[in-house]
């Protein structure tokens, strides 16, 4: 089933009763060439590219709940490639380029919207550091514009330019940044992978990993034992738990991050705006709700919900940036589990077993990285060597001291 203008019209005329399911619901087979643990954005994208680009035919994605139940369906939908370090920037730019062609590629409307991401700065020092980042982006061939206060004012007149504590001096704008409908990304990749005969097995939790002679030979699951030629872990917030099943301790912490959606408003915020004097980011969904978030809850947890102290903190930062938010009602909020690495950058690498592959450490940047992560992880699994843009995301960098500290926060995951 392909989507096209014609198929939509024809199905509309026949009462929309002839659409087929986007993916099958197969019973697990006894074994697969590649088993991917985690049916989030990264696991599904990996399966899609593995089948599509590398022609691997016998792949299963094992998901403990349902597709989209993890962070891929819980994030604040922001995409950007405004990274500074040369280990990160080309990778996130690869992701941006894949976003730009994704809907045509997997023939699914993921509502990719390049409406611009603006990072506000509030001091001379912050302006200098944003200028440096913008210059680094441009040197990598990525778009970046430094806006002065007046230019920001003409884009977003309702920001608090009179704020005495946090005066807005300007902002760094990446026009190609924006938003993507998060769960549609999971559905699009699942549908695309299904089109290449990948088995997406939901309600199938991996409970242990069987090894023999330095290899992973299969996984015990809530739906029985499944053998594997290669085992790829893409369990995001649960990466440490799943890796521990193979005897591997990862340098990760799992933290709660909350997201919020307000009541619907008339069009108000055209792009994504982030506060530079606190942690607050906001955009407006096509339904009219403001979608926003802030800092982590600041403690380790596997619960997909957060606490009121952080709600208050996020609301404070939001009101300092846009005073009119004080009259806004929040409609809903939720939490997700982020697997924060010790330098805030991800891990895409081989594990300690011969046929074990790791995709983990996705912090705030995990959603925007989805296409490139899947693309590079598929390359690693198929070829047993890293993709050139993901070469730096080695697991042993923490032991060797080659950390990729994009935010300059040091080894404090709660700050990344
Ligand atoms: C509130 C919030 C806002 C965010 N906002 C942004 C943003 O604006 N931009 C951005 O770039 N990033 C953002 N992120 C980060 C981003 O969402 C994540 O880093 C990214 O989605 C993680 O990758 P994933 O999609 O594969 O994760 P997930 O969707 O969590 O996928 C992992 C899957 O593994 C499954 N799993 C776990 N254990 C097992 C097991 N034992 N057996 C089988 N399956 C298992 C889980 O059920 C889950 O479905 C945000 C995160 C949160 C929580």
Tabulate helix, strand, coil % of the chain (nearest 5).
30, 25, 40
**240 ligand 1 Cβ < 6 A:** no
CA–centroid distance, residue 241 to ligand 1 (Å): 14
Among protein residues, the one whose CA lies closest to atom 19 of ligand 1: 366
What average pLDDT does the structure give for the chain?
Answer: 96
CA–centroid distance, residue 302 to ligand 1 (Å): 12
Q: Is the pLDDT of residue 414 over 80?
A: no
Q: How many CB atoms lie within 10 A of CB 228?
A: 26
Q: What is the pLDDT of residue 407?
A: 87
Average pLDDT over residues 347-353: 97
Average pLDDT over residues 135-144: 97
pLDDT-derived band at 409 (thresholds 50, 70, 90) equals confident
How many Å is the Cα radius of gyration of the chain? 21
CA–centroid distance, residue 212 to ligand 1 (Å): 30
Query: Which is it for strands 199-201 and 59-62: parallel, antiparallel or unpaired?
Result: parallel
Q: Is the pLDDT of residue 411 over 90?
A: no
**Spatial contact of 149 and 170, defined as CB atoms under 8 Å apart:** yes
CA–centroid distance, residue 71 to ligand 1 (Å): 3
Cα torsion through 373, 379, 380, 384, rounded to 10: 180
pLDDT tens digits for range 201-248: 999 999 999 999 999 999 999 999 999 999 999 999 999 999 999 999
**206 ligand 1 Cβ < 6 A:** yes
Q: What is the pLDDT of residue 209?
A: 98
Q: How far apart are CA 179 and CA 267, in angstroms?
A: 15
Query: Which is it for strands 215-221 and 31-37: parallel, antiparallel or unpaired?
Result: unpaired
pLDDT tens digits for range 86-121: 999 999 999 999 999 999 999 999 999 999 999 999
pLDDT-derived band at 412 (thresholds 50, 70, 90) equals confident
- Scan for tokens 């299963």, then name that residue: 60
pLDDT tens digits for range 168-185: 999 999 999 999 999 999
Q: What is the pLDDT of residue 289?
A: 97
Terminal Cα-to-Cα distance of the chain (whole angstroms): 42
pLDDT tens digits for range 291-334: 999 999 988 999 989 999 999 999 999 999 999 999 999 999 99
């Amino acid at each position: 089933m392909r989507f096209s203008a014609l198929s939509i019209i024809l199905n509309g005329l026949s009462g929309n009763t002839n659409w087929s399911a986007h993916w099958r619901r197969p019973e697990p087979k006894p074994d697969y060439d590649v088993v991917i643990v985690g049916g989030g954005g990264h696991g599904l994208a990996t399966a899609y590219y593995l089948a599509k680009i590398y022609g691997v035919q016998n792949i299963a994605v094992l998901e403990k709940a349902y597709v989209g139940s993890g962070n891929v369906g819980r994030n604040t939908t922001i995409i950007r490639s405004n990274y500074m370090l040369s280990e990160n920037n080309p990778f996130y730019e690869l992701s941006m380029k894949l976003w730009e062609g994704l809907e045509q590629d997997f023939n699914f409307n993921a509502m990719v919207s390049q409406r611009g991401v603006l990072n506000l700065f509030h001091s001379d020092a912050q302006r200098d550091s944003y200028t440096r980042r913008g210059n680094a982006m441009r040197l990598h061939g990525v778009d970046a514009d430094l806006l002065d206060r007046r230019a920001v004012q003409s884009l977003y007149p309702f920001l608090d330019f009179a704020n005495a504590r946090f005066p807005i001096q300007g902002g760094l704008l990446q026009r190609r940044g924006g938003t993507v409908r998060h769960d549609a990304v999971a559905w699009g990749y699942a549908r695309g992978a299904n089109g290449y005969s990948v088995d997406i097995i939901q309600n199938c939790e991996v409970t242990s990993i069987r090894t023999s002679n330095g290899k992973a030979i299969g996984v015990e699951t809530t739906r029985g034992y499944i053998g594997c030629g290669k085992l790829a872990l893409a369990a995001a917030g649960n990466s440490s738990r799943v890796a521990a099943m193979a005897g591997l301790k990862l340098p990760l912490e799992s933290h709660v991050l909350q997201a919020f959606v307000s009541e619907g408003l008339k069009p108000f915020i055209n792009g994504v705006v982030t506060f530079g004097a606190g942690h607050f980011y906001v955009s407006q969904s096509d339904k009219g709700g403001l979608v926003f978030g802030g800092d982590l809850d600041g403690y380790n947890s596997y619960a997909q919900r957060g606490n009121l102290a952080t709600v208050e903190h996020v609301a404070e930062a939001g009101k300092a940036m846009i005073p009119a938010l004080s009259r806004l009602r929040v409609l809903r909020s939720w939490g997700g589990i982020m697997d924060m690495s010790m330098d805030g950058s991800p891990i895409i690498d081989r594990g300690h077993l011969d046929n074990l592959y790791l995709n983990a450490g996705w912090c705030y940047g995990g959603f925007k990285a989805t296409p490139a992560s899947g693309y590079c992880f598929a390359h690693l699994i198929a070829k047993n060597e890293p993709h050139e843009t993901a070469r730096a995301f080695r697991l042993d960098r923490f032991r060797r001291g080659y950390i990729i500290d994009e935010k300059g926060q040091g080894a404090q995951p709660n700050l990344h």
